[in-house]
Chains A and B, each alone.
Chain A
Amino acid sequence: MSGTTIEVDGLTKRFGEHTAVDDLRFTVEPGRVTGFLGPNGAGKTTTLRMLLGLVAPTSGRATFGRRTYAELKDPLRVVGTALEASSFHPGRTGRDHLRVLAAAAGLPDARVDAALEATGMAEASRRRVGGYSLGMRQRLGLSTALLGDPGVLVLDEPINGLDPEGIRWIRGFLRSLAAEGRTVLISSHLLSEVQQTVDEVVIISKGRIVHSGGLEGLETRTSVRVDAPDRAGLAAAFAAAGLQGSILAEGFSVVGTEPAEIGAIALRAGESLSLLQPVTEGIEDIFFQLTEGEHAVGARVTEEAGE
């Protein structure tokens, strides 16, 4: 089994004035689990839906081995998809839901049963979906994705709603799918949820990529905590120097600069410091900072002081 590469090339979606997805470019390689991360409303779902031909992009395109989703001859055999866990008719059994879709690709019932077996849904699938828990719907969605034994899997928030045992199970399952050579793309709004599962991440915020690549790059980042008796004066000095960071309850958190550099900036501005402390940040903090967007520290403080 070897998956094809997903290429996202300048995908953009505007809803009227609002740009939901802004010129996204990234590739997703086979044999790895790639996390597609960002807070709710960052444009993850819109991007995935453009990838799958459900939403027409304003510009740009996404391809699976150089073909768009609509150009795939037998899409279920190439790309397996699980979007939100609610796309089931409650009066239909789980097994029948798969049988309906299996007909599209001419897949036999034996394939349906194998896909249900793989996610532990063989028994429950004889009952109507209306009685399923969220975790069971997630597993059924995953079975749907596996139906055509595809080389590419695109899963939207697959871990959401699973119990701890289910989370452990799906982590191992996603790893094994990638180990078989498949291309696995999973979205999540929580980095911690997928941190142990993914090889690579694409992090987006407000429709733009803020980080892509491995998690190692993120883990080594440090910040510096700074405070001064004259906070407004210090903020003005930081603004003049173009420092990046955020405002804390007491002082500032500055990123991308060494403590020595910050001390020198303060000295030149004639500000005495009451705190100068390097901090190794948790990966979740960095994710939060990335996705909330960084502001020039001084600019924000001056704005607030002016109110």
Chain B
Amino acid sequence: MIPAIRVEWRKLVTTRIWWVLGIVLFGYIAFTSALFGGLFGAIASGAIGPEAAGGEAIPTDGLPPLVYSTVSAVGYVIPLILGTLAVTGEVRHGTLTPTFLAIPSRARVLAAKLIVMLVAGAGLGVVGLVASMGVGAGVLAVFEIDPQLGNPDIWAMAGRAVLAMALWAAIGVGVGSLIQSQIAAVIVVIAFTQFVEPILRTAAAFWEPAAQVGRFLPGAASDALVGASVYAMFTGAAADPLLWWQGGLVLAALAVLVSAIGWATTWRRDIT
């Protein structure tokens, strides 16, 4: 198993995709956390919003987790794409063939890829947290809001965000195995994460029975795992979100399920 993991690790680090996506994630999260940090900070400090209009100030305690969790709430698409490309890229360039010649046990190759992608997703999580906590804390401090960097709850949330990002990369491996065309897979990933699920979650928030189901949507489960999300704040919810560990189990189950379907399709078939 160790050699198979080493093979998959070398595959990851010998092409450019990992650092390209790392830079994209860093920039994306730095931007969104600055945006939300600035927006909430301005509202909380009374520069804009209800207080400026003579209303109540919003509480500031909940702001740091909201800003820091942008790493997973908006950034989860990046590890998902990394995991997807890790499979579709191999199908596209025919590199599964030499891999299977070197390691005839295809189950071992798939397991190694899942493990390496979990690690890579966690790595992206750390990169994203450096962006969201670095930039977010700075912006909050500008508005004289305590960034709570000494609060253990904040660091526990950061740990759960890393776990969520790891699981998303593993889900990507399953998605890539399922949809082998690189372009089709990337389009499906972006369409689902950016349009389909947000619309479903928003729609479900208005009707209680739908909300019971809607909280099992992968993005909602991911937000539940992390425990904070700007998204949940905007849409509200007609049902309580899942507990953090339930959210984690939903993501892990999804990763196992799509990988199992991928196993039955891409991984076991004849390589002609």
Number of interface residues of B (CB under 8 A): 28
A75 CA / B94 CA spacing, docked (Å): 19
Bound-state CA distance A164–B222 (Å) is 59
Residue A61, interface by CB 8 Å: no
Assess whether B102 is in contact with A105, with CB atoms less than 8 Å apart.
Answer: yes
Q: How far is the CA of A18 from the CA of B271 in the complex (A)?
A: 18
Of the residues A89, A90, A99, A104, contact of B103 by C-beta under 8 Å: A104
Contact between chains at A72 and B104 (CB < 8 Å): yes
Decide: B100 and A54 in contact? CB cutoff 8 A: yes
What CA separation (Å) do A169 and B256 show in the bound complex? 50
Q: Which B1-20 residues have C-beta < 8 A from chain A?
A: 3-4, 6-7, 9-11, 14-17
Q: Which residues of B contact A88 (CB under 8 A)?
A: 93-95
| Contact digits for A52-90, partner B, Cβ 8 Å, 1 yes 0 no | 111110000000000001101001100001011011111
The reply to whether the CB of A188 lies closer than 8 angstroms to some CB of chain B is no
Nearest Cβ on chain A to B271's Cβ, whole angstroms: 4
A54-B100, A75-B102 known; A89-B271 Cβ under 8 A: no
Say yes or no: is A168 at the interface (Cβ < 8 Å to chain B).
Answer: no
With A54-B271, A87-B93 given, is the CB distance from A96 to B14 under 8 Å? Answer: yes
Residues of B within 8 A of A84 (CB): 94
CB contact list, A95-120 vs B, under 8 A: 96-97, 99-101, 103-106
CB distance from A35 to the nearest CB of B (A): 22
Given A81-B98, A89-B89, A106-B3, 18 extra CB contacts under 8 A: A46-B272, A49-B270, A54-B272, A55-B270, A70-B104, A76-B101, A76-B102, A83-B97, A87-B94, A87-B95, A89-B15, A91-B16, A92-B14, A92-B15, A93-B14, A101-B102, A104-B3, A104-B4
Interface residues of B (CB under 8 A from A): 3-4, 6-7, 9-11, 14-17, 89-90, 93-95, 97-105, 270-272
